[in-house]
Amino acid sequence: MSGKRVVTFLGFFTGDKWYHDKLTESFFPGEVWTLTDPWYFYPKLKPTRIYQIHEDYDGTNPAAPYRTWPDWKGRYNSYGCEIVTRREFPGLNNQRVLDMKKLVYLFSIPFFGSSFAYMFADAMLEKVTEIHMYGIRLATNGEYQNQLPSMILNLEAAKVQGIKIVCPFENEWFRERDKFDWALLKEVKVLYGDENGNYQNLDLKINPDIADQSMIKISYKDLQK
Ordered mean pLDDT values, 10 residues apiece, the chain (225 residues): 86 62 87 93 94 91 88 97 96 94 81 90 94 80 64 87 90 77 65 68 46 52 54
Note the pLDDT of residue 17: 47
Q: What is the CA radius of gyration of the chain?
A: 17
Containing structural domain, residue 80: 1-225
- Please enumerate in sequence order all residues whose Cβ is within 8 A of that of 131, keeping only pairs 6 or more positions apart, or say none: 6, 7, 8, 9, 120, 123, 158, 163, 164, 165, 166, 167
Note the pLDDT of residue 172: 80
Contact 43, 76 (CB under 8 A): no
**How far from the centroid of its chain's Cα atoms is residue 185's Cα?**
17
β-pair type (31-34, 6-10): parallel
- Please enumerate in sequence order all residues whose Cβ is within 8 A of that of 152, keeping only pairs 6 or more positions apart, or say none: 173, 174, 177, 180, 223
Q: What is the spatial distance between Cα 113 and Cα 71, in angstroms, rounded to a whole number?
A: 28
Q: What is the spatial distance between Cα 159 and Cα 174, in angstroms, rounded to a whole number?
A: 14
Q: How many domains does the chain have?
A: 1
SS3 content of the chain, % helix, strand, coil (to 5): 30, 15, 55
Q: What is the spatial distance between Cα 92 and Cα 83, in angstroms, rounded to a whole number?
A: 8
pLDDT in tens, 37-95: 999 888 899 999 999 998 889 999 888 888 899 999 999 999 999 999 999 999 999 99
